[in-house]
Structure 1
Amino acid sequence: MATTDITKEPHMGTPLLSVEGLAVDFNTTDGVVHAVEGVDLEISEGETVAIVGESGSGKSTTAMAIIGLLAGGGRIAAGSIRLDGREISKAPEHEMRAIRGRHIGLVPQDPMSNLNPVAKIGTQVAETLLAHGLANRQNVSAKVVEALEAAGLPDAAKRAKQYPHEFSGGMRQRALIAIGLACKPRLLIADEPTSALDVTVQQTILDQIGAMTRELGTAVLLITHDLGLAAERAERVIVMHRGKVVEQGAAKQILEDPQHPYTQSLVAAAPSVAIARLRPEAFSAPKDGEPSRADGTPSRGDSGDGSLSERSERRTERAKRVEVTKRVERAQRDETATPDGAASEPSASATDNIVEFENLTKVYPVRGRGEDFVAVKDVSLVIPRGETVAIVGESGSGKTTTARMLLKVIEPTSGLIRFEGKDISTLSRAETRDFRQRVQPIFQDPYSSLNPMFTIERLIAEPLEFYRRGSSADRRKRVRQLLDDVALPQSMLRRYPSELSGGQRQRVAIARALALSPDLIVCDEPVSALDVLVQDQILRLLGDLQREYGLSYLFISHDLAVVRLISDYVCVMKDGVLVEAATSEEIFTNPRDPYTRRLLASIPGNELNIA
């Protein structure tokens, strides 16, 4: 894998970009917010510089100030921004329009809000080329295809004629990358450019950016919360905290010997395959010698053959007690209790595997084509009670489709999904209502999963109100407790999603999923939008909840470093097929399938020890 030499010295001479004493203020209803204070940075021709920090640290605001795209109410209060020696901090808008795209390119983070939903992808790429005179009507189509191919989109000519809703999240992000790189700018601002991409596509995109840096002298300002990526790709790292630069220097020096306490906390919280020793006890793999099935789950057959680790035994016994309690609560709520008022003991299946997939297949008919699209093919796996099963794979591998079938959002074409031994396709209306309370999702995109018209308090309380859980006072108390659980201040209650950062929005989504105290949580990329500190906090929160309540998780992710930390078992999918399944330890230390080995080889920082 082509990477930037992290030991390379910073470039000498006149910098391409020079920022001195930058301060950015925002006028809000609560007064002036000083989002950025006294930021200094330089980027030379061909240099890659990464800005890292948690959500709200000011890293994206700094980038948006450089390109002149501050959000409403924002203004540059002080400081200087010079591009190739020319002051641009006070440049009029018509001059900035000429600079954007041609001289400074931008790859924004959120593909949903940055692509026009009613314009074809090719049209949106062409707009940039035509606006800067880099193409004409005769050759623009060919240049659009070239830009999409450079961004890693297969069958680019066909994709150019499609709309954003026909693309997966990763494909939409690649389209944004194509737009940002189309004009071959001298400086590329990449704001979390690969947060929605699987590791192999991430490698392709970052290699492409690296190639531009070498061949064209293009400088890159990389905004990221992924320290493995920063260590591998950047020559220098700038650490921001609460609007200020707290440390900067060569990437190797920053990550191996951080000086500032905040930088030290970032490095300590960074997930990495190389630092498996940081795995919380709740997420540790089964002990050596514990037998496992071919599908990667522990051998807990009815015959009782095979021994469990002490952790699994404790978790199973705890799950039994929790399950009895929850069954009593459900019986009382649905008025279906046994004559003596207590629920019956859970069945063997209720205390072993909470979910079983059997030959699960999903086929989509495609209009105008002779062949249908097989999204998931003959997948069989189980989720043991109180355990975490992760499904990994590239975009389009079928992992999210599998999760949606479990959530009863879509119906399988064939095969069975059993929840506590019962086929979920046969559930009555009352049973379905109970099932939806006990199985909750956490979606990938906090922008589209939260109602922008609701306050944070109402968003979190909504499932409690829908299922009539407790009194109004009880619900208010529960909402405040959930805010504490996901590390959000009580002052957030009256705010709206638009007033929160991406990481804060995802924490709200997680709090809402936890509101009903479910038995199984389907996590579809739940931490992909979070910085490393909050990501670490959320993963530990999930671990604490699992230990306390015997929760089970189906964890969908393209971030294998995170999967290494959280999963007990890993299932690898490719083109809708389950190609390998085993314990987490086995997958990461002894992968058998070539595709699994390729995924692991693509992880940024896989060979770096940044602990």
Structure 2
Amino acid sequence: MARTHERLAAGAPLLQVRDIAVEFQTIDGPVHAVEGVDLDLAAGETLAIVGESGSGKSTTAMAIIGLLPGNGKVTQGSILFEGENLVGAPESVLRTIRGRSIGLVPQDPMSNLNPVARIGSQIAETLLAHGLATRRDVDRKVVETLAAAGLPDAADRARQYPHEFSGGMRQRALIAIGLACDPKLLIADEPTSALDVTVQKTILDQLERMTSERGTAVMLITHDLGLAAERASRVVVMNRGRIVEQGPARQILEDPQHPYTQALVKAAPSVAAVRLRPEVFRTASSEAPKPDIAPAPSARVIERPAAGAEPAGQEEPTPDYIVEAEGLTKVYKVRGSKEDFTAVQDVSFVIPRGETVAIVGESGSGKTTTARMMLKVVEPTAGTIRFDGQDVASLKGAALKRFRQRVQPIFQDPYSSLNPMFSIERIISEPLDFYKRGSSKERAARVRQLLDDVALPESMLRRYPSELSGGQRQRVAIARALALSPDLIVCDEPVSALDVLVQDQVLTLLRDLQREYGLSYLFISHDLAVVRLISDYVCVMKDGQLVEAASSEEIFTNPRDPYTRRLLASIPGNELDIAV
């Protein structure tokens, strides 16, 4: 061990990966997931590995920590951690290193936390397994660990279960587990991909403080290039299992040399797209002057533009807005408490026909509750929603069925929103079958047309969701939403789980479909860079209230509310000047 310290003292990296290859055995033969990867990571350094889904970045990280699936193995190369080769090391050695020397923050907090164990007991298990606490002092150390990860009221939180935590709190709990043993290297696999920008910033600031204070090295696996540029000193770009480019973060992302890196940067809304491609999604209708939708932040209402002269001979003009929401309030009774919880309070907005209104805000701001009221999944406690001039609350029977056909959702998670037992053909045809649209032959033709609309081949029809990538699944979800030819689509975080290239494709698809079919969108998102790309108008929500509403350009160039300015300042990489 003394020789190891001598090497490190002489400047050897904490981690040295040399020419590793990873192979998976499948029923169709071996799959070469990673080939010839070389990288170094110094003590206290943050290294980001970026690339689209399937590029091999997570496989590389799992190979380092010895957590490849049973059908995967490292077939060549070496992985030196503190001078010790981990390739081929006994499982007993790897178990000692995991947690104690190399910590892991996995991507999905809900599937990586035990749902039937309290948060505190899950951290205690790690501390006790590595001999870093005794039964007598483990509770105190659990509270200290949770507090260090940025969780308020740590003692109370330790007694709660994962389902009682928000997404950001669950992610902090995973970080607490990953750092419980004070490891020398922390592998963070997409630690903030599903979190809003302010929570994301809080968590990343926490990681950065721990890195500097403890000298912890961080390997950050991410598809967010803005985050990589802002948080890492060096970036490794992977494509199809190989490293195509690596070097200083700013240099790589401000002046990418490899065509694949250039494509990533060009597609990334967090970095280049909002600044260099503001005209990408502009349609002919958006060239007209925008109505003044929020004359003052305190108004919390999007106003109608001044009425002009009606066309001659038109007795009943088409409404300017497909949706008019006024004074929306939603109050929930809290079991075991005398106080009610107000999720949404006095929110008013409109959705112009054929355009996109985005609602942004932190987790718990009320944006998803507002979307659910729009879908008539939950009823407002107060206020009204008019869809095409009709009060939604009054719709019943046949009128309600027509409303449900004209308003369709696209959900956040393409993995859980599709029935895994249905073929793609059945998933897309289900709405047509339920509402008995056309004959069976006409429905089959409609399904094929929808598949073509979302740029998927007809060969997909016989496949199942498990056989598709995340981007392909989200395209299927979009096709299903389009099946009944709706007028309004409510998009709830439709691209937050996708990598930048697929995200770019889906956003372009949504705008193309809007241009072709005149669709209106209510777009719910925490990703402000995506919102700037897709939206015509933006409503900013905080603590259930609308604090600012204006055109997208005005929100992003001249935000009036301090909260909006804070959200914009939290966008990863928003200070970068990237030329693509």
Flag the 1:530–1:119 CA change in 2: closer, same or farther, 3 A.
same
**Partner residue of 1:325?**
none
Please identify, of 354-363 and 499-508, the stretch whose mean Cα deviation from structure 2 is larger. Answer: 499-508
Per-residue deviation, 1:95: 2.6
1:151 aligned to which of 149, 152, 170? 149
Structure 1 CA distance, aligned partners of 2:416 and 2:396?
30
1:137 Cα deviation from its structure 2 partner: 2.7
User: Which amino acid is 2:268 matched to?
Assistant: A
1:326 is matched with none
- What pairs with 1:468-487 in structure 2 (closer than 5 Å)? 468-472=436-440, 474-483=442-451, 485-486=453-454
User: What CA distance in whole angstroms lies between the structure 2 residues aligned with 1:427 and 1:142?
Assistant: 56
Q: What per-residue deviation string (whole Å, max 9, x for no partner) do you get for residues 404-439 of structure 1?
A: 111122222221122111122221232222222221
1:112-511 matches, within 5 Å, as 112-272=110-270, 275-283=274-282, 290-294=290-294, 297=302, 299-301=304-306, 303-304=307-308, 348=317, 351-472=319-440, 474-483=442-451, 485-486=453-454, 488=456, 492-511=460-479
Q: What amino acid is aligned across from residue 572 of structure 1 in structure 2?
A: V
Per the alignment, residue 84 of structure 2 pairs with 86
Note if contact 1:122-1:161 (Cα within 8 Å) is conserved in structure 2.
yes
Distance of 2:440 and 2:68 partners within structure 1: 40
Structure 1 pair 506–385 and aligned structure 2 pair: CA distance change class (3 A): same
1:450 alignment partner, SS class: coil
After superposition, where does 1:29-68 map in structure 2 within 5 Å? 29-68=27-66
Could you say if the C-alpha distance between residues 120 and 532 of structure 1 is closer, same or farther in structure 2, counting changes exceeding 3 Å?
same
Whether the aligned pair in 1 keeps the contact of 2:281 and 2:533 (CA below 8 Å) is no
Give the C-alpha shift of residue 300 in structure 1: 3.6
The CA deviation string for residues 586-610 of structure 1, in whole angstroms up to 9 with x for no partner, is 1111111111111111111111122
Q: Which amino acid aligns with 1:153?
A: L
Cα pair distance change 1:62/1:454, threshold 3 Å? farther
Q: TM-score, normalised by structure 1?
A: 0.86
Structure 1 residues 555, 156: closer, same or farther in 2, change over 3 A? farther
State the 1:230 CA deviation: 0.7
Name the aligned partner's letter for residue 523 of structure 1: C
User: Contact 2:238 / 2:245 at 8 angstroms: preserved in 1?
Assistant: yes
In the alignment, is the contact (CA less than 8 A) between 1:279 and 1:566 conserved in 2?
no
Q: Which moved more, 1:574-583 or 1:490-499?
A: 490-499
- Which structure 2 residue ranges, 5 or more long, are not aligned? 1-8, 295-299
Q: For 2:576, what is the secondary structure of its paired residue?
A: coil
Q: Which residue of 2 aligns with 1:582?
A: 550
The 3 A distance-change label for structure 1 pair 364 and 55 is same
How far apart are the structure 1 equivalents of 2:203 and 2:546? 26
The worse-fitting range, judged by mean Cα deviation, of 232-241 and 488-497 is 488-497
- Relative to 1, partners in 2 of residues 1:388 and 1:101: Cα closer, same or farther, differing over 3 Å? same
Deviation, 1:482, is: 4.4
Give the match's secondary structure for 2:218. Answer: strand
Residue 241 (structure 1) shift: 1.0
Q: Say whether the 8 Å CA contact 1:283–1:565 is kept in structure 2.
A: no
Following superposition, the deviation at residue 400 of structure 1 comes to 0.8
How far did 1:166 drift? 2.4
After TM superposition, the structure 1 stretch with the greater mean CA deviation from structure 2, 44-53 or 474-483, is 474-483
Where 1:449 maps in the other structure, the secondary structure is coil
CA contact (8 A) 1:55 1:504 kept: no
In structure 2, relative to structure 1, the CA distance for the partners of 1:224 and 1:365 (3 Å cut) is same
Which residue in 2 is equivalent to 1:550?
518
The alignment covers a number of residue pairs equal to 562
- The one-letter amino acid of 1:182's match is A
Q: Distance in 1 between matches of 2:333 and 2:427?
A: 36
Tell me if structure 2 keeps the 8 A contact 1:460–1:515: yes
Structure 2 counterpart SS, 1:80: strand
Q: Supply the distance in 1 between the matched residues of 2:32 and 2:429 (Cα, whole angstroms).
A: 32
Q: State the Cα distance separating 1:281 from its structure 2 match.
A: 4.7
- The amino acid that maps onto 2:352 is P
| 1:142 shift after superposition | 3.0
Q: Cα 1:169–1:473, aligned 2, differ >3 Å: closer, same or farther?
A: farther
SS in structure 1 opposite 2:142? helix
Report the Cα distance in structure 1 between the residues aligned to 2:11 and 2:149, rounded to whole angstroms: 31
Assess, with a 3 A threshold, how the Cα gap between structure 1 residues 146 and 104 changes in structure 2: closer, same or farther: same
Deviation at 1:171, TM superposition (A): 2.9
**Structure 1 letter corresponding to 2:120:** G
Distance across 1 between alignment mates of 2:458 and 2:244: 27
Partner residue of 1:519 out of 454, 473, 487: 487
**Whole-Å separation in 2 of the counterparts to 1:151 and 1:18:** 28
Number of the residue aligned with 2:4: none
Q: Give the % identical residues.
A: 75
Retained in 1: the 8 A contact 2:291–2:305? no
Distance 2:481 2:172 in 1: 29
Superimposed CA distance per residue, residues 516-561 of structure 1 (whole angstroms, 9 cap, x where no aligned partner): 3322111111111111111111111111111111111111111111
Aligned partner of residue 448 in structure 1, secondary structure = coil
CA RMSD of aligned residues (A): 2.7
Distance of aligned partners of 1:44 and 1:195 in 2 relative to their CA distance in 1, 3 Å threshold: same
The Cα shift of 1:238 comes to 0.9
Q: Deviations over 1:171-218 (max 9, x none)?
A: 322322222222222111111111111111111111111112212121
Greater CA deviation, 104-113 or 388-397? Answer: 104-113
In structure 2, the partner of 1:322 is none
CA contact (8 A) 2:145 2:176 kept: yes
CA contact (8 A) 2:290 2:551 kept: no
